[in-house]
A and B are shown apart, each in its own frame.
Chain A
Amino acid sequence: MDQSRKIRVLVAKPGLDGHDRGAKVIARALRDAGMEVIYTGLRQTPEMIAAAALQEDVDAVGVSILSGAHNTLCPRIVELLRERGMDDCLVIVGGIIPQEDIPRLKEQGVSAVFLPGTSTEEIVKFLRENVGQRA
Chain B
Amino acid sequence: MPETKELNSPADASVERWERETLEPVIKKRPERRQRFETVSLDEVNRLYTPADVEAVDFERDTSFPGEFPYTRGIHPTGYRGKLWTMRQFAGFGTPEETNARFKYLLEHGQTGLSVAYDLPTLMGYDADSPLSEGEVGKCGVAVSSLADMEVLFDGIPLEEVTVSQTINAPASVLLAMYLVVAEKQGADFRKISGTLQNDILKEYIAQKEWIYPIRPAMKLVVDTFEFCTRHVPKYNPISVSGYHIREAGATALQELAFTLRDGVEYVQWGVDAGLDVDEFVPRISFFFNAHNDFFEEIAKYRAARRIWSRVMRERFNAKSERTLQLRFHTQTAGVSLTVQQPLNNIVRVAIQALAGVLGGTQSLHTDAYDEALALPTDRAALIALRTQQIIAEETGVANTVDPLGGSYFIEALTKKMEDGALDYFEKIDALGGMVEAIEKGFPQREIQESAYQYQKAVERGDQTIVGVNKYSMEEEQGAVPILVINEEVRDRQVERLERAKSQRDSGAVSNALEKLKRAAAAGDNTMPATIEAVRAYATLGEICDALRDVYGLYEEPAF
Check A69/B139 contact, CB under 8 A, given A16-B120, A41-B559. Answer: yes
A117 at interface, CB cutoff 8 A:
yes
Partner of B209, one of A20, A100, A119, A120: A20
B403 at interface, CB cutoff 8 A:
no
Check A96/B374 contact, CB under 8 A, given A18-B209, A117-B339. Answer: yes
A68 at interface, CB cutoff 8 A:
yes
Instruction: Tell me the chain A residues, 14-55 only, with Cβ under 8 Å from chain B.
Output: 15-21, 24-25, 28-29, 41-42
Check A121/B374 contact, CB under 8 A, given A68-B139, A72-B134. Answer: no
- A116 touching B135, Cβ below 8 Å: no
B39 at interface, CB cutoff 8 A:
no
Partner of A21, one of B136, B248, B459, B483: B248
A130 at interface, CB cutoff 8 A:
no
- With a cutoff of 8 Å between Cβ atoms, the chain B residues found around residue A24 in the complex are 449, 452-453
- A98 touching B460, Cβ below 8 Å: no
Check A42/B456 contact, CB under 8 A, given A68-B375, A69-B136, A98-B374. Answer: no
- B209 touching A72, Cβ below 8 Å: no
- B140 touching A17, Cβ below 8 Å: yes
- A120 touching B456, Cβ below 8 Å: yes
A133 at interface, CB cutoff 8 A:
no
* Total contacting residues, chain A, CB less than 8 A: 29
- With a cutoff of 8 Å between Cβ atoms, the chain A residues found around residue B373 in the complex are 96, 116
- With a cutoff of 8 Å between Cβ atoms, the chain B residues found around residue A41 in the complex are 557, 559
- With a cutoff of 8 Å between Cβ atoms, the chain B residues found around residue A29 in the complex are 453, 456
- A115 touching B121, Cβ below 8 Å: no
Nearest to B249 among chain A residues (CB) is: A21
- A96 touching B375, Cβ below 8 Å: yes
Instruction: Tell me the chain B residues, 482-505 only, with Cβ under 8 Å from chain A.
Output: 483, 485-486
- A68 touching B486, Cβ below 8 Å: yes
- B340 touching A15, Cβ below 8 Å: no
- Shortest Cβ gap from B441 to chain A (Å): 18
Contact digits for A82-107, partner B, Cβ 8 Å, 1 yes 0 no: 00000000000000101110000000
- B452 touching A21, Cβ below 8 Å: yes
Nearest to A73 among chain B residues (CB) is: B135
B86 at interface, CB cutoff 8 A:
no
A63 to B542, CA, bound (A): 27
- B479 touching A100, Cβ below 8 Å: yes
- With a cutoff of 8 Å between Cβ atoms, the chain A residues found around residue B449 in the complex are 24, 28
11 A-B pairs besides A72-B135, A117-B339 with CB distance below 8 A are A16-B124, A16-B133, A19-B248, A28-B453, A68-B136, A69-B136, A69-B139, A98-B375, A115-B340, A116-B340, A119-B460
Question: Which A residues form the contact surface with B (CB < 8 A)?
Answer: 15-21, 24-25, 28-29, 41-42, 67-69, 71-73, 96, 98-100, 115-117, 119-121
Ordered by A's residue number, 26 sampled pairs between the chains whose C-beta atoms are within 8 Å are A16-B120, A16-B126, A16-B136, A17-B120, A18-B210, A18-B211, A19-B208, A19-B249, A20-B249, A21-B250, A21-B452, A24-B452, A25-B250, A42-B209, A42-B557, A67-B140, A68-B376, A68-B486, A69-B136, A72-B134, A73-B135, A96-B374, A96-B375, A98-B483, A117-B469, A120-B456
Please name the 7 residue pairs, one residue from A and one from B, whose CB atoms are nearest each other, closest first. Answer: A18-B209, A72-B135, A69-B135, A68-B139, A16-B120, A117-B469, A18-B210
